[in-house]
Structure 1
């Protein structure tokens, strides 16, 4: 069944987790966004 195959596919993706490089990039983007917001407030 297609539904079972799709569920299996998405379960595998969820189990992989988020790569460290992506987490690092997201943290840098958040920091840049916070810095830009702080500059606008002053």
Structure 2
């Protein structure tokens, strides 16, 4: 089964735990990160 937050080696990436900064390793922009103003 494939999941976008689970790597092949079993490690889990939970981007909501990272501060909303420009991190070249994450590939995400701060505007794409979860924040309390967003909802599903």
Instruction: Give the TM-score, by structure 2 length.
Output: 0.20
Q: Which has the higher helix share?
A: 1
Bigger RCO (CA 8 Å, 6+ sep): 2
Question: Could you tell me the TM-score, scaled by structure 1's length?
Answer: 0.19
